Amino acid sequence: MTPDEVKYDVVVVGGGIAGQEAALNLANSDQQVLLVEKDLSIGGHMIHLSKVFPTLDCGACITTPKMSETVRHPNIRVSTFSEFTEIERLSDGTFTGLLTRHPKYVIEKDCTGCQDCEDACPVVVKDQYQYGLVGRKAAYVPFSISNPRVAAIDIENCILCGACERACPADAIDFTQKIEKTKVSAGTVIIATGFNLFDPDVIEKYGLGKHRNVITSMQMERQLVPTRPYNNVLRPKDGKMPDNIAYVLCVGSRDQTLGNPICSQVCCMYSAKQGQLLMGALPMADVTIYYLHIRAFGKGFEEFYQQSIGMGVEYVKGKVGTIDEKENGDLVLRYEDIREGSIKEATHDLVVLSVGMLANPEAGTLFMNNALELDEFGYIRQVDMLRNPASTNIEGVFVAGTASGPMDIPDSIASSGAAAAEALSYLKRKS
Ligand SMILES: Cc1cc2nc3c(=O)[nH]c(=O)nc-3n(C[C@H](O)[C@H](O)[C@H](O)COP(=O)(O)OP(=O)(O)OC[C@H]3O[C@@H](n4cnc5c(N)ncnc54)[C@H](O)[C@@H]3O)c2cc1C
Ligand code: SF4
Ligand code: SF4
């Protein structure tokens, strides 16, 4: 170890539900943990969900206490807007790597999250945390329940007018901040870099981006949460309350032509969930789910699916070919009715594309010489899936959550427990 290196027992890369769970397990076993998150806040995809299947618990109510515990834990240091790269296993079985912290142009310890900078900033761009449904400023607190709840300046869109600097009562804006690089050594590494959402823009026949009343399932999650952008479920094009909503399942999943032949494991169930939540939010609305097969394989899932039918969600076994927009913004779905073997058309006033999960390709680039092996779908390869599902091809490196393949929250948490236990055992063996 060189004198300027910082030493931890464990580095966890990725601060979604899986990374937080692994970090907390290890920190509670007296290990010193560095949790590296590339985004402005920890929380991953889960912090943006509404209620979660199969229990219909409020996602944020589960995630926010865990985020607070992670950030405040005396044995965990959280580094947001950061990367951990150039990771290398040394001959003694320990690891080194480079921690890069990108500038937020805000002094984290001084920022109170008051959002005065946001009010003053004249620049509006699409809000990535509301999945593009509304705008945000170039000076912004990422989202209301972010952790840390600290502002950042989106320097790519900033016009350097200085309004945020003048408005900040804490003098926390600092445009002189630079990238910080620190050498880190660790006894073991857990990769929890999660998944990417499939981008349905590539399926032109569904018209996302062109037909404004075609939205993704993540945009519907945002419309169903208490911190929702419109304070109700509305059609983006004209603000009308929809009363005849369609879901198209398997968008980007189980499709060889799109290079992703595998099942995303969560879309059937989250669509059944959203259908139930819509029955509550819009009691007069019809919800129709167009599906190829329903995969309700987990504990309580079949009952959850049946519950959605009982609440009035209609399931049509059909493959949707095209979606066309009428002048009034309604959408015409042309689909193959698989039971009847005929081509049909149906009109809906809002269409939700149930997008699948894709591997996050960054996982493969974190190690020197891309030493971490991926499987044929780009997820981290589990070399001993039956006996030790957390192990990778590098001894002492473990995988947690969806970085190893599509899975839901309960499975992500279980896999993080396994990764933490394996990491602890590795540390004990090497000490
Ligand atoms: C629309 C939708 C609805 C869903 N609804 C449900 C539900 O109701 N119930 C359920 O059980 N599951 C649901 N899921 C699945 C659930 O979102 C996942 O199981 C869960 O979020 C996986 O957590 P994770 O930590 O593995 O990954 P993620 O949530 O993707 O977290 C990964 C984290 O790693 C960070 N990261 C990525 N790359 C790097 C890097 N190079 N360096 C540092 N950090 C990095 C990311 O910024 C992110 O914070 C849903 C999924 C979708 C898409
Ligand atoms: S300096 Fe940039 S971030 Fe600050 S108010 Fe002006 S445009 Fe917004
Ligand atoms: S940077 Fe200043 S104005 Fe902006 S949220 Fe932080 S304390 Fe408030």
User: What is the Cα–Cα distance from 66 to 411, expressed in whole angstroms?
Assistant: 17
Task: Give the residue whose CA is nearest to atom 38 of ligand 1.
Answer: 193
Q: Which atom of ligand 1 is nearest to the CA of 216?
A: 1
| Digitized pLDDT (tens) for each residue of the chain, 431 residues in all | 565 789 999 999 999 999 999 999 999 999 999 999 999 999 999 999 999 999 999 999 999 999 999 999 999 999 999 999 999 999 999 999 999 999 999 999 999 999 999 999 999 999 999 999 999 999 999 999 999 999 999 999 999 999 999 999 999 999 999 999 999 999 999 999 999 999 988 889 999 889 999 999 999 999 999 888 888 899 999 999 999 999 999 999 998 888 899 999 999 999 999 999 999 999 999 999 999 999 998 999 999 999 999 999 999 999 999 999 999 999 999 999 999 999 999 999 999 999 999 999 999 999 999 899 999 999 999 999 999 999 999 999 999 999 999 999 999 999 999 999 999 999 999 88
pLDDT reported for residue 3: 57
pLDDT reported for residue 11: 98
Please report the domains of the chain, with CATH numbers, ordered by start residue: 6-101+180-194+360-430 (3.50.50.60), 103-178 (3.30.70.20), 198-357 (3.50.50.60)
3-state secondary structure the chain: CCCCCEEEEEEEECCCHHHHHHHHHHHCCCCCEEEECCCCCCCCCHHHCCEECCCCEEHHHHHHHHHHHHHHCCCEEEECCEEEEEEEECCCCCEEEEEEECCCCECCCCCCCCCHHHHHCCCEEECHHHCCCCEEECEECCCCCCCCCCCEECCCCCCCCCHHHHHCCCCCECCCCCCEEEEEEEEEEEECCCEEECCHHHCHHHCECCECCEEEHHHHHHHHCCCCCCCCCCCCCCCCCCCEEEEEEEECCCEHHHCECCCCCCHHHHHHHHHHHHHHHCCCCEEEEEECCCCCCCCCHHHHHHHHHHCCCEEEEEEEEEEEECCCCCEEEEEEECCCCEEEEEEECEEEEEECEEECHHHHHCEHHHCCCECCCCCECCCCCCCCCCECCCCCEEECHHHHCCCCHHHHHHHHHHHHHHHHHHHHHHC
Task: Indicate the DSSP class of residue 93.
Answer: S
User: What is the Cα–Cα distance from 122 to 136, expressed in whole angstroms?
Assistant: 10
pLDDT reported for residue 37: 98
Task: Give the residue whose CA is nearest to atom 4 of ligand 1.
Answer: 270
Can you read off the two tokens belonging to residue 345?
A: 């058309």
Give, for 250, the enclosing helix (H) or strand (E).
Answer: strand 244-251
Task: Give the residue whose CA is nearest to atom 8 of ligand 2.
Answer: 121
Q: What angle is formed at CA 377 by the lines to CA 354 and CA 260, rounded to 5 degrees?
A: 40
Can you read off the two tokens belonging to residue 77?
A: 């240091």
pLDDT reported for residue 101: 98
Q: Does ligand 2 have an atom closer than 6 angstroms to the CB of 138?
A: yes
Contact 389, 418 (CB under 8 A): yes
Pocket residues: Cβ below 6 A from ligand 3? 106, 111-117, 141, 151, 167-168, 170, 172-173
pLDDT reported for residue 61: 93
167 alpha carbon, closest ligand: 3
pLDDT reported for residue 227: 81
Q: At what angle do helices 17-27 and 409-430 cross, to 10 degrees?
A: 40
pTM of the prediction?
A: 0.96
pLDDT reported for residue 381: 98
- Which residue in this structure is represented by tokens 């998150």? 37
